[in-house]
Structure 1
Amino acid sequence: MDGKYEDYGYDSRPAQSSGRPARYDDADVFGHEEGHDIKYKTLSWQLVAILMIAEIVSNGMLSLPSSLAVVGIVPGLIIIVFLGVFATYTSWLLVRFKLRHPEVHNMGDAGYILMGPFGRELLAFGTVVFAVFATGGQLLAGQIALASLSDNRLCLMLYTGIFAVPTLICSFPRTLDGLGWISIPSVLSIAIAGIVGMVGAGLHPAPDRVVSVTVPSTFFEAFISITNPVFAYAGHFMFFIMVSEMKKPQDAMKAAYTLQGFATTFYAVFAAIVYVYIGNSVLSPAFSSLEIKWQKAAYGIAIPNFLIAGALYAHTASKLLFVRIFRKSRHLHSHTILGWSTWALLVLLMNAAAFVLAVGVPIFNYLIGIAASLFAAWFTYGIAGFFWLHDSYHDGDGFYTWARKWFQTTLAVLTIFVGAFICVAGLYVTIKAIVEAYQSGVVASPFAC
């Protein structure tokens, strides 16, 4: 190792040729913020944990009970817990890589370290695409919630438009600190909504329910169901951006442990209880299987979470492009007309793209699956293995370090293979599902009510 960051205690190359111990802020994307109008590095690890939970524990959990209906309660719960532990491990790898490379602000920057300019463009593109698609997914969740609350009295496209307006407004703060505090009610809303859903299922169980310990199924059916818990943890693509705005980045794993502990426990309990009381007929999203009063209550309480999660995704896509445009420029930290107008335009474009895709593409839900397979599978799982292999090779003795740390090397390689498998298998089952949807005539026309 060449040196250590004085404030953070993590090994890294020196920021200057003199070889002096480098300070983290010397290389960090936002640098030293003393005297700046806009300060980004203000987040505590507790607030980052809240942001992570608000982003990840959202509408994705509502598909988990239906996954148990496909593979059975025992295999389903094993998969949920295993993926939670696995996501914790990859979180640790991502955080170590970020602390080792403070200049990394997003996945695009990490891609540059791994693969040069091509890697930067590929991973930056993937981040923006997946963030926009995820925003659209939250708009559809809001559409379902509003439609349920109003007994489907309006055109579905209008519900989406109504929900898109507050999502756009909440995306506008320039710093994550501005979104952090409103993420607290977001976390409370999804937690309370989940509890309401479990209580509603318990008080009004399906009278003829069938609960299966295991269910024999084809690879296509099984993997379709497995993608639900896989992508319920898919939020790692935002980790670099969040850690970049922390006051003490070395505390990032505290936030990650809090996230994964809460998410894994909540996912498993929610999926098991709702499935046990509703059985194999449970729908996705699960709230739609509840008795109508409980369905409305659960959806109504969950709306703030759908809204804030969508805003976080749109903010992420906008922030990546904004930092890319104005990196090391005064417009990044100052209240300039160019800076604010560019930020407003980016936020508007990201939200508008999400809205148009959500209401104008009949197979948008399937496209979310394709985007998740192509990018989220790597961002959450596979690419973390590359991060460890890269740093251990360059910080140590190359292949000799890999051989000496054979257990960690094996885990890193397996992580890459898992990401590749999820990517390929996810693409296969999603494309097959699209073909079957068109063949069966269930695909609606664009911009339909």
Structure 2
Amino acid sequence: MSEKQQSKHVVFEKSDVFGYEEDHDIQYKTLSWQFVAFLMIAEIVSNGMLSLPNAMAAVGEYQEDYGKGRATDMLLVGTGIVPSLILTIFLGVFGLFTAKLLVDFKLNHPDVHNMGDAGYLIFGPIGREVLSVGTMIFAIFGTGSELLSGQLALSSLSNNGLCATVLLAIFSAATFLVALPRTLGRLSWLGLISTISITLCGVLAMIGAGVSPAASRTIAATVPNSFYEAFLAITGPVFAYAVHRFFILISEMRRPEDAMKAAWTLQVFATAYYAVFSVVVYVYLGSTVQSPALLSLSSVWSKVTFAAGLANFLISGGLYAHTAAKLIFVRFFRRSRHLYSHTFLGWFVWTILCFAATAIAFIFAAAVPIFSDLVSISASLFASWYTYGIAGFFWLHDAYHLDGKKEALVRRWGGTLLAVLTISAGAFICVAGTYVSVKLIVEAYASGAVGRPFSC
């Protein structure tokens, strides 16, 4: 490390959220960039991979009327392979760009621990509360989504041997235990296991799809659609890169300046994996592929892939719950001994927070029949900003306050333009995604497809 880098590292150490830790009982800053990458892959790839093949598949039907009052042909249509693949790659590159803006912002402001802290710097007290609440909602809904994946896995492996709600409760209890370690360093090896688990799950799913392809599948390279149908099909790729806790992860790194190495690893792995998995599964299963894709495999292969992915669903759910608890815990005890010492109050509050995050996720997942659509709404409202839009505000804020105010924005007009376009993209995804998700809920109720709460 050069003398300049050492000096910058010392300044960061003095002002960051956890400060010096040599004499602390609980030391947070223990993560290497490799394990940050594993933790991010474990959480993000889990949800994205299983929904992407469905984004390539049919999202509706249309009738071609020959104008003579005779029977019409019903054809399944979707965005197809080409647009979905291009979008997946583009969003991966875009996500890497916004990750760079986020990392730079964190290095410039070491006291930022989460999106709420960033919101306070840019938008004031209201920004802190809005972004903090948004992070917690998204994390809890993410926990619920993983709980449902775990329940599906247990139901498949047990041939529905127990009521689905009972299996959900069992998986929730295990998820709570995974979330309990106070530091992400304690969970780092679980991140590696989780990454191996979801990778193996995807490889086995591709093999299973190839061994037993759908005979009646329909495959489309490109198909025109209405705006609603098209955006419905691309919500999978859009939210497959959702990064809502990168600040929290960087805060627990030994060397925060290495954070971009983790971001590169995540985006390269996720983009390549998403592209290969979604194309292979869609080619073999076509328009019949469901979401999650594992449900479209034969019974034997579905069990095999769910078994392989079970560890990932469990660990990812624990990571989401840990994130929600960590945000509140640091907010309560920042700079106090309860944050870094083994005090009764510290451990009591931490345990309650982890339990509350998991319990709320369980209640939502079990009691709300349209929970999956609510997850989409939360992703539209928050993930669109956390992953894409708000990064533009990070760049504008630092260029203005750290580099010469208005003159810097004019002088660096290229960066200013990219930042404004990034904000605009986040706003568009937020509005369009929310519209599509709400319309899905309305249509589900209208069609009678909504189930009952706490049903088996």
TM-score norm. by structure 1 comes to 0.95
Alpha-carbon distance, 1:153 to partner: 2.8
Matched with 1:90 is: 98
Alpha-carbon distance, 1:78 to partner: 0.4
Q: Secondary structure at the match of 1:57?
A: helix
Of the three residues 257, 263, 268, the one matched with 1:261 is 268
Alpha-carbon distance, 1:216 to partner: 1.7
Q: Distance in 1 between matches of 2:234 and 2:159?
A: 31
Q: Which amino acid aligns with 1:133?
A: F
Q: Distance in 1 between matches of 2:24 and 2:253?
A: 16
Alpha-carbon distance, 1:5 to partner: 7.8
Matched with 2:444 is: 437
Please provide the CA RMSD for this pair. Answer: 1.3
Matched with 2:19 is: 31
Q: Which amino acid aligns with 1:340?
A: W
Of the three residues 381, 392, 404, the one matched with 1:374 is 381
Whether 1:193 and 2:192 are equivalent positions in the alignment is no
Alpha-carbon distance, 1:208 to partner: 2.5
Q: Which amino acid aligns with 1:428?
A: Y
Counting aligned pairs with the same residue, the percent is 58
Q: Distance in 2 between matches of 1:347 and 1:258?
A: 29
Q: Distance in 1 between matches of 2:131 and 2:441?
A: 26
Q: Secondary structure at the match of 2:244?
A: helix
Gaps of 5+ in 1: 11-21
Whether 1:104 and 2:112 are equivalent positions in the alignment is yes
Matched with 1:271 is: 278
Q: Which amino acid aligns with 1:291?
A: S
Matched with 1:184 is: 192
Q: Distance in 1 between matches of 2:322 and 2:216?
A: 45
Of the three residues 45, 48, 52, the one matched with 1:60 is 48
How many residues are matched? 434
Whether 1:170 and 2:170 are equivalent positions in the alignment is no
Cα deviations across residues 230-271 of structure 1 (Å, max 9, x unaligned)?
11111x211000000000000000011000000000000000
Matched with 2:136 is: 128
Q: Secondary structure at the match of 1:212?
A: coil
Of the three residues 215, 232, 245, the one matched with 2:240 is 232
Q: Distance in 2 between matches of 1:262 and 1:340?
A: 36
Contact 2:393 2:423 in 1 (8 A): yes
Matched with 1:392 is: 399
Q: Which amino acid aligns with 2:424?
A: F
TM-score norm. by structure 2 comes to 0.93
Cα deviations across residues 19-58 of structure 1 (Å, max 9, x unaligned)?
xxx7111110000001110000011111111111111110
Contact 2:392 2:418 in 1 (8 A): yes
Alpha-carbon distance, 1:152 to partner: 2.0
Matched with 2:65 is: none
Q: Distance in 2 between matches of 1:396 and 1:67?
A: 42
Contact 2:48 2:274 in 1 (8 A): no
Q: Distance in 2 between matches of 1:181 and 1:263?
A: 19
Q: Distance in 1 between matches of 2:160 and 2:428?
A: 40
Contact 1:8 1:250 in 2 (8 A): no
Whether 1:40 and 2:31 are equivalent positions in the alignment is no
Cα deviations across residues 88-144 of structure 1 (Å, max 9, x unaligned)?
111111000000000000001000100111111111111111100100000011111
Q: Which amino acid aligns with 1:432?
A: K
Contact 2:17 2:112 in 1 (8 A): yes
Matched with 1:357 is: 364
Q: Distance in 2 between matches of 1:240 and 1:7?
A: 22
Alpha-carbon distance, 1:8 to partner: 6.5
Of the three residues 151, 164, 167, the one matched with 2:159 is 151
Q: Distance in 1 between matches of 2:162 and 2:228?
A: 36
Gaps of 5+ in 2: 58-77
Alpha-carbon distance, 1:7 to partner: 2.9
Alpha-carbon distance, 1:154 to partner: 2.2
Q: Which amino acid aligns with 2:439?
A: K
Q: Which amino acid aligns with 1:344?
A: T
Cα deviations across residues 322-343 of structure 1 (Å, max 9, x unaligned)?
0000011011110000100010
Alpha-carbon distance, 1:159 to partner: 1.6
Of the three residues 319, 323, 335, the one matched with 1:312 is 319
Alpha-carbon distance, 1:169 to partner: 0.4
